[in-house]
Chain A
Amino acid sequence: MNRAEILEKIGTILNSVLGHSNFELNEELTAKDADGWDSLTHMIIITEIESAFGVKFKLKDLNKLQNMGNLIDLVSGKLSEK
């Protein structure tokens, strides 16, 4: 799975959890840019990503995330470990 495909799949999850698509889906996207993506919804989004890609994250990995690009790095890293 390439980066664009991962991004698209995460985008679908964001639309479904947040209930809107009022954000620009790119690698620079941060939680602050998407209305409703806060500390409470964050873990719901993460859980959805885990089940969609069939991967498991570590809390330490999540603590380092700064933007969508980092999240894609993390997912593709986990996918390559499979």
Chain B
Amino acid sequence: MSNEYVTLVSSDNFKYVVDKEVASISTVLKNSQGFEEGKTGRINLDMDGDILECIVEYLYYHYKYKDQAESGDVPEFNIPTHLALELLVKADYLDI
């Protein structure tokens, strides 16, 4: 699984190629693999590119530090203030 990638596509057609394992942090992205998205390797998401970028960044951030979460030795993740509310909604949607 580690060498497989999925392509996340935003509503304004930005594409992000993400490691499948990283994407699977989101239950929604993970579940989608049983469906058509699993076959095509492409997941169309109804969100803007800047939001999706932020989400992908977070997914990698989360993946990188997941083992250190216990020790608390994790740098802060910067959220652009103007996106904060929308990110909150998207995160709920993706179950992150």
- A, B bound: no
Residue positions of B touching A, CB distance < 8 A: none
Residue positions of A touching B, CB distance < 8 A: none
